[in-house]
Amino acid sequence: MSGIAKGFQYTLNQLTKEKVTYDYPRKPIPLPDRFRGIQKFHPEKCIVCNQCMSICPTGCINLTGKKHPDPTKRGKIIDTYDLNFETCILCDLCTEVCPTGAITMTNNFELAEYSRDGLLKNLQWLDENDENIREESIL
């Protein structure tokens, strides 16, 4: 019976210990800087190199580019950028290959939507997602 008594004593000792649970929906959860949340897209930095699209293991990124409006400048600028969060696994490979840092991770993770269509995010939405952006860069 001594084993059971020791168990009770151990549990009783915990009563005075500090609380370990989070008051999550009311207070935001503290997350580290490297946390892989929903991506932020910087359209002005994108050079339409297509590397994020080709590295994506689930093929959830779709992008198109257009000619630079300024005829004196070469290269392309981004036209559309769609990210499908139905298939995105937030693996962070897109930010790893981006040569200009046009796509970065944020600490935002709340993605619940009422319809599946709501999970298809476009360029404007990803551009406006500009809170809690990761500071540390892998470049």
Q: Which residues sit at the interface with other proteins, rule CB under 8 A?
A: 1, 3-4, 6-7, 9-11, 14, 20, 31-32, 34-36, 55-57, 89-93, 96, 105, 136, 138
Q: Which is nearer to other proteins, 55 or 77 (CB)?
A: 55
- Whole-number Å distance between alpha carbons of 28 and 43: 28
Element (H, E) at 93: helix 93-97
Q: Which is nearer to other proteins, 46 or 94 (CB)?
A: 94
Q: Which is nearer to other proteins, 77 or 90 (CB)?
A: 90
- List, in order, residues 6 or more apart from 43 with CB less than 8 Å away: 77, 78, 81, 102, 123, 127
Region label for 111, one of left (φ > 0), alpha (ψ between -120 and 50) or beta (otherwise): alpha
Question: Beta partners for 81?
Answer: 63
- Whole-number Å distance between alpha carbons of 65 and 97: 18
**To the nearest whole angstrom, how small is the minimum distance from the Cβ of residue 77 to other proteins?**
24
**To the nearest whole angstrom, how small is the minimum distance from the Cβ of residue 87 to other proteins?**
12
**To the nearest whole angstrom, how small is the minimum distance from the Cβ of residue 59 to other proteins?**
10
**To the nearest whole angstrom, how small is the minimum distance from the Cβ of residue 49 to other proteins?**
13
**To the nearest whole angstrom, how small is the minimum distance from the Cβ of residue 84 to other proteins?**
16
User: If DSSP codes are grouped into helix, strand and coil, which group holds residue 15?
Assistant: coil
